Chain A
Amino acid sequence: MSDQRKEASISGAGMISGGTYDRVSISGAGKITGDIHAEELRISGAGKAKGKVEATKIVVSGSVSFADDVIADEMRISGSAHVDGRITAKELKSSGSLKVARNVSSDYIKISGSLRAGADVETEIFRASGGFQIDGLLSADRIEIRIGGRCQAKEIGGEQIDIRRGGWREKGIILDGLIKLFTGGGTPGLETTQIEGDEIYLEDTAADVVRGKRVEIGPGCRIKMVEYHESLKAHPDAKIDKQMKV
């Protein structure tokens, strides 16, 4: 019964029931009414999935909302995606806008658009050049952030943490203006309560506590407390209220 594979595609308006598929593609307006299992799910129109979605590859270039959990090996978003459950992926790339109500866990996450997560974001490698708001912990072995919008996380933890100004400062006034337009005019910067890691480099970051083995606080930072184990370097243009070698 379940060996029978099927394809479903909606290019006008339609509905797909739950089940196992090879390929599901929605280029008009489509609704998936139950849990689905698919090799590939492509949404370039407007899609709505009522159930759990499990797919090897998910590509969203339109707009989609998932009412439940999403599990994928590869998930690429260049449009907008809204997930009410959690995302479990191996590779997650978003150059569009991604909103997730619960946890995001993956091996690799690349955000060049925007990310909003209602809980923890856990991955091996986290690369962001856009903006994000993470209401929980951002945890990864390697965290590379090129600030390109408002970046906020409740806490950040990992091995190597590297947070720098994004490229927009060098690219001139037009891009600067555009970014300000999109981010609501505030100076791009990163805000968090706590950063813990082994190797830490920060720019334009505001934090209550930074704890690490080797810590370098670069320009534009405002840190209330730095606790370091081996070394601390601070840029003259950084503000550190208190520092302590532990």
Chain B
Amino acid sequence: MNEQKLISKKDALETMGISYGQLYRWKRKGLIPESWFIRQSTFTGQETFFPEEKILGRIGRILSLKESCSLDQLATRITEKVGKKREVAFSKLSELGWLDEELMELCALGDEGTSVTLEKAFSLGVLHQVSEIGRKEEIRLIKRTLDEALTKALVERIREQRPLLHLLRKRVSASGISAEISLVVIASDGAAFDPDLETVQVVDLAVVLDKIKLGLTKEEK
């Protein structure tokens, strides 16, 4: 990181011929990641610097694509590009507050260096949402259900189908003996269940995925 050559905001604007207005607009749209803005004090006070190669490259790309698509389309494009990188940094997971030891162990995370696969991060995110309310064996059940669904390209189908994960319980009793069973269902919005089922938790899988992806665009490595 330290060896990166930096360029001041002023010089970057001058070099690329863009205005403050444009730069702030692009930053708002997420086209320029927050982490590229590096503050340093100079003799004139605080100034903002950028990693030179990255910022000039990015501005150039925005300028060349700006003619053919809107800023929002551009933002999506850049998101998609990052989305293809299917690795999620540990720092990101800890920022999301998902690094729970038990869950990590369940997802077999920990000895893989600094990043994990998108699928693993996704499972962790889903489990995190049910970890407070779900029982231990239910969490394992959810993990097994997710593993199964992930082999059937769950992540790829999320945007289109908007599946929800339901954790359900049902109490059955007969002649004085009662038992409770837990069920896990991944179904698209609008699925109907028998009225005796108690819904313990519903997780919108698209929201979990968005959380991961949003983080990736904002602080692209």
Contacts and interface: CB of A to CB of B under 8 A. Distances in A.
Interface of A: 1-3, 105, 122, 139-141, 157-160, 193-194, 196-198, 208-209, 211-213, 224-225, 227, 246
Nearest to B164: A2
B45 A198 contact: no
A211 B44 CA distance: 12
Contacts of B24: 139-141, 157-159, 196
Interface string B174-194: 000000000000000111110
Nearest to A224: B45
Contact of B45 (A139, A197, A225, A246): A225
Interface residues of B, number: 20
A196 B20 contact: yes
B25 A159 contact: yes
Contacts of B44: 209, 225, 227
B21 A158 contact: yes
Given A1-B190, A1-B193, A3-B190, A208 B19 contact: no
B20 A159 contact: yes
B94 to A, nearest CB: 18
Given A1-B192, A194-B46, A211-B10, A141 B20 contact: no
B88 to A, nearest CB: 21
A158 B25 CA distance: 7
B20 A208 contact: no
B5 interface: no
B171 interface: no
Contact of A139 (B27, B189, B191): B27
B71 to A, nearest CB: 11
B45 A2 contact: no
A246 B19 contact: no
Nearest to B37: A137
Contacts of B14: 246
Interface in B40-63: 44-46
A158 to B, nearest CB: 5
A216 to B, nearest CB: 16
Contact of B20 (A105, A157, A193, A209): A157
B28 interface: yes
A198 B21 contact: yes
Contact of A197 (B20, B28, B191, B193): B20
A227 B22 CA distance: 18
A158 B21 CA distance: 5
A80 to B, nearest CB: 27
A211 B45 CA distance: 12
Interface-central residue, B19, B24, B27, B44, by most chain A CB under 10 Å? B24
Interface string B206-219: 00000000000000
Nearest to B22: A159
A13 B71 CA distance: 46
Contact of B28 (A139, A193, A209, A212): A139
Contact of A159 (B21, B46, B189): B21
Nearest to A105: B28
A90 B89 CA distance: 32
A1 B44 CA distance: 62
A245 to B, nearest CB: 12
Contacts of A211: 10, 20
Nearest to A193: B46
